[in-house]
Chain A
Amino acid sequence: MSLLQLQNVCKSFGPTQIIRDVSLNIEQGEKHAIIGPNGAGKSTLFHLISGRYKVSSGGILFKGAPIHNLEPFQITRRGLARSFQVTNIFPLLSVFENIRCALLWSMGYKYSFWHFLSRQTALNERAEALLEEIGLFERRNIPAGELAYAEQRALELGIAIASGAEMILLDEPVAGMSHSEAKNAVALIRKVTEGRTLVMVEHDMNIVFDVADRITVLVYGEVIASDVPEKIRGNPRVQEAYLGETPHA
């Protein structure tokens, strides 16, 4: 059974159909990229999977159970975490607090008001280890809003992976980065998603073909191809609809 199954998912905003009858299976351990021109509905698809939007029709199954009627926090608790295209952190809290908050639920603290955070050795050690991993240990005490852009993206990634989710959705993780920053970010993504299932939306074709085991091409809300990178490269419909526009692909 596939880890994530999308079954005839449709999403309309008023009369406008954004996602048209998308069916897609994502297997355990797969690194999957979703590509497509601007306005194809890639981010909308992520919002549907993660519960930010509700589907108009169709179903989404995670580990075999339907999740399309659940709230974002319920979906997260089941092991599906995501990052955002626009950096979405807690700007006033310190970098350390950002990561520690992201760890709380998965470490079982729930809404506790009877544990003191400073005494939770395992929690604090894990937060520090994670900060080391994403390269922000030195910056742990400053407010997250004061980080440089690439650092905020690393923190965004750190928050997404903190829960130890089996499946991670990354929405344009390297958008707006310089070439060298993007290179570092890709290396970091590879490292931290090791052994997990990754789905990402990305515009940079070099990165997509570098990271992904399988690629889905979305055009005007429809899946026109979903296959391994080599086949996608050779697919005439994809070339016509999408890759034709980007000669460097």
Chain B
Amino acid sequence: MGKLTIWIVFAVVLLVLPQIFDSVLSLSIFTQMTIAIVFALSYNMLLGQGGMLSFGHAVYFGLGGFLAVHAMMMIEFETLSFSITLIPLVGGVFGLLAALFIGSFSTHKAGTVFAMISLGIGELVAASSLILVSFFGGEAGVSGDRTYGPPFFGIDFAQDDHVYYLAAAWMFFAVLCMYLFTQTPAGRMANAVRDNPERAEFMGYSARRVRFISFAMAGFFAGIAGGIFAVNYEILTEENLNAATSGRVLLMAYIGGLGFFIGPIVGAVVLTLINSLLSNYTDLWMLYLGILFLLTVMFLPRGLTGLLMMHRVAWQLGRMRLLLLPYTLTAIPGAVFILGMIAMIEMSHAEDAEFVYLGLALAPAGYGSWALLLGVTAVAFFVLRRTLPRLREAWSQANTLPRQPRHEDGHP
């Protein structure tokens, strides 16, 4: 029953969020998040659950999105007549069809072969999208209008909050379906094939068929994400199916954590925030995103969610308070260190003679500011290192099980 509660809370949060944060910006960010969440979770069906590293997942997002825009245009010109609320499904169906076709040969093997084919297909589709102008609209892309078609209980989706609720409803549906998929024989065998394809074959399963099913599902949900995108932005361009978009979804899933169902959700939320908020403050936000990705790969192989989950044992033993003081002691010099590094990066990028950072007027041209920042950062780094042994000790204390046989709790 705990699971049901989580889903209800999830639905309530989706309903209430735009009431609490009701600015135009936050609404736009929430809608972007719903798209990113569906897209990142669909990607994780490949990488996290199926062991298939794809560099071309944007193909299914983009193709679904383009078809969705074309469907919107058909509604506008009254070739078709159905509610705009079904547009994401159009995207999903075409994402599925594309994945059925491409997956029929790309899922023969996992590993490097699969990764290379996905890269090739991604480049191929992105390149042809610029050439096939009649369908993809060239550099300008194709655009539609979501306000046509039969209104949905009187709603014509001219307002942004209506679009948000439509996107959130589709997202909830897609997340639920993707979660339920992990609980089925095909979903579980995807994990088995990821871990040991050979043994799966000796249990009666064709590893290729298992991968193909996951691949088709991932294409379907990526297409749904593309369809929501089409409704929200009313335009699709080559950018939506090229390698940069494929790379971004990989980053979302990885930074969030591949090994957990909610990992990609966390990643999608964090990256959307970085993308839409941090970019207001600095031109260099992509650099910080890259650094975050590198640090995740190097130090948090299980992603941000893995970092949270690491604390499960301490939490269950009721020892979180042991960590509170050491964490605070490490966080203070850590924050100073990070802010110092950022200040230096930003200052080297600044063009004006004066550069204001956290209320501090710095002079990029003079030596004084540099010396100050360098000094503060170096001291912070030194202090940070001094706090680490204490944190380590507290960590091992908080995580030592009382003396009894291991694995008594009975939780998987």
A→B interface (CB under 8 Å):
50, 52, 71-73, 76-77, 81-82, 84, 88-94, 96-97, 100-102, 104-106, 109-118, 139, 141-142, 159, 162-163
**A116 pairs with B196, CB closer than 8 A:** no
Q: Shortest distance in angstroms between B279's beta carbon and chain A's nearest beta carbon?
A: 37
Q: Please, which residue of chain B has its CB at the minimum distance from the CB of A76? A: B204
**B185 pairs with A73, CB closer than 8 A:** no
Sorting the interface of chain B by its residue count into under 10, 10 to 19, 20 to 34 or 35 or more gives 20 to 34
Q: Shortest distance in angstroms between B149's beta carbon and chain A's nearest beta carbon?
A: 31
B185 CB contact (under 8 Å) in A52, A82, A104: A104
Q: Which B residues touch A115, using CB under 8 A?
A: 184-185
Contact with A along B162-187 (1 / 0, CB 8 A): 00000000000000000011011111
**B203 pairs with A117, CB closer than 8 A:** no
**A89 pairs with B199, CB closer than 8 A:** yes
Q: Please, which residue of chain B has its CB at the minimum distance from the CB of A160? A: B202
B→A interface (CB under 8 Å):
180-181, 183-189, 191-192, 195-196, 198-206, 209-210, 213, 217, 407, 410-412
**B184 pairs with A73, CB closer than 8 A:** no
A117 and B189 CA atoms in complex are apart in Å by: 11
A116 CB contact (under 8 Å) in B180, B192, B203, B206: B180
A97 and B191 CA atoms in complex are apart in Å by: 10
Instruction: Known A90-B195, A116-B180, A141-B407; judge A50-B188 contact (CB<8 A).
Output: no
B412 CB contact (under 8 Å) in A50, A141, A163: A141
**B410 pairs with A141, CB closer than 8 A:** yes
**B412 pairs with A73, CB closer than 8 A:** no
A77 and B217 CA atoms in complex are apart in Å by: 25
**B201 pairs with A88, CB closer than 8 A:** no
**A104 pairs with B203, CB closer than 8 A:** yes
**B205 pairs with A88, CB closer than 8 A:** no
A113 and B184 CA atoms in complex are apart in Å by: 5
Q: Which B residues touch A106, using CB under 8 A?
A: 204
Q: Which A residues touch B198, using CB under 8 A?
A: 52, 72, 88
**B203 pairs with A76, CB closer than 8 A:** yes
Q: Please, which residue of chain A has its CB at the minimum distance from the CB of B184? A: A113
Q: Which B residues touch A116, using CB under 8 A?
A: 180, 183-184
Nearest 3 pairs between A and B by C-beta?
A105-B204, A109-B185, A113-B186
Q: Please, which residue of chain B has its CB at the minimum distance from the CB of A117? A: B183
Known interface pairs A73-B200, A104-B188, A111-B210; 15 further A-B residue pairs with C-beta atoms within 8 A, sorted by A's residue number: A71-B201, A72-B202, A90-B191, A93-B191, A93-B195, A97-B192, A102-B203, A104-B205, A105-B203, A106-B204, A112-B186, A113-B184, A115-B185, A117-B183, A159-B199
Q: Which A residues touch B412, using CB under 8 A?
A: 94, 96, 141
**B184 pairs with A81, CB closer than 8 A:** no
**A139 pairs with B189, CB closer than 8 A:** no
Q: Which A residues touch B410, using CB under 8 A?
A: 141
A84 and B189 CA atoms in complex are apart in Å by: 20
**B206 pairs with A101, CB closer than 8 A:** no
